[in-house]
Chains A and B, each alone.
Chain A
């Protein structure tokens, strides 16, 4: 990076106002196919005006600001797509505000119609802007650099000198120099004349077309990326499933606990038919309880009757099966419960996953047992179903203030604090229930016997100690034992067939951007004219004035140096002779020149322009 003293840059006025040295596309008149012949003139004109307005840089700027602004509430309000529970909390905390925000899509900002309106407008503007820029750039790519201005030496950093070569020879020599420097060069055809009728000996050279190419690639890639993101959301799906070590799932709609899919996904045919079993789950932690590593050992078959293979799924390392990827996104504990009747016969047994609550994996467990075998009681014949609420603590300690807590996330001393209920769970009534929460409306709390004494509302079990892990005193003389714990993992299956597309667009975005920010577009013009003698009209034999000038579009250093180098080379190539004028032969700025209009008689002809 260079200092603040940036040398020559293109004067904006020159860029914006004149045809020759301007780099911008020609002022667009009537872009696109709007305003067909059938439309009334006025309407066509106003459509065209709106289109112009929309595809202008100023509108793009405004829409970019709007887009940034519109994204802000998405980070301040809880979003359904990220955390639906927080949205529910928000509704509880702000009962009057939340519904209003909800109607304005405040909890779904990035799917909101107004958000879509902004980015769609931006992309329409972009496409409109691009269509003309691409056409214009394509023309520039196959066309010739614009013709030299009358006095190239008057551009910033321009210079002129005398040469003994004839004008065509001088131009040829200059052409060779610029070709060697890989400029695209166009020499004025023989016989071309200037507006005043004098022969035109000039050439125009241009380099750095890649800047605009890169810029266009960047913008086009933006459009492609948006299209890829959109298609991905139509053709993609995702499912989340909780798997206890030893269990598995198949990639079908019904296997998942949660499933969502794009509107063009056919759940019968588009889901890759794999099945997967988690054989083992290992978590390791730092001594202070911070997580170090999680890995799930799985066996899977990628086709219905395909061979079984094994793999390891870790955070950051999903399993790829066809277009689907299986991610490990969470884990936790599932204690094993056995409900026995008074004879010691097993009534129910199973693993119950508990929801982790904190970093030390204290987890909430909810156990619902509908089929207890107990007779219905009372005049309304209420069923005697059992339910337990519990807190599972993998490394259990008794904290004087907070009771039983977990001090480490590994299951070193698994404990369970339980409360029990009996009554009507209202399951099997056709209304779906959250398995992780308990509705105790029609239940009453049990007094439990167990390790910490008799007739308590809560019992504390130590799962590793066979003598301290059974709750007794349940209705009908039943007992509940928590005789072990397994880890579970949460897997997410994701399929987005357009991910590769989006990635390719992202690569193009970066490539285009780098090219457009690094490459300078610059033009160099060289004009030769026969030197005029002291008496106006007499041409001095074989003496030529050579003028060099150039423009660079971007605010970049280095063009001044490059132009100087080019001028030196051209000067050497056209040397042989001549009284070389000092660099910048015309040192006085034009404002001063106005005060001495005819310093040299020759000026009168040089001013032909």
Chain B
């Protein structure tokens, strides 16, 4: 599980990104950032542009944590 920076040049933009590692699930990521695994759909919804299914995430994908 790795948090990664994704510079965009916009100094007002406040974001948090997570680079998917082996063994990650959205629930695990949700638990890491929100303390509650059940909130994984928040992450899924924020990344609908790259995720089609909350159960299918790929190693190396960069997910925005809303």
User: Is chain B a partner of chain A in the same complex?
Assistant: no
Q: Which residues of A contact B (CB under 8 A)?
A: none
Q: Which residues of B contact A (CB under 8 A)?
A: none
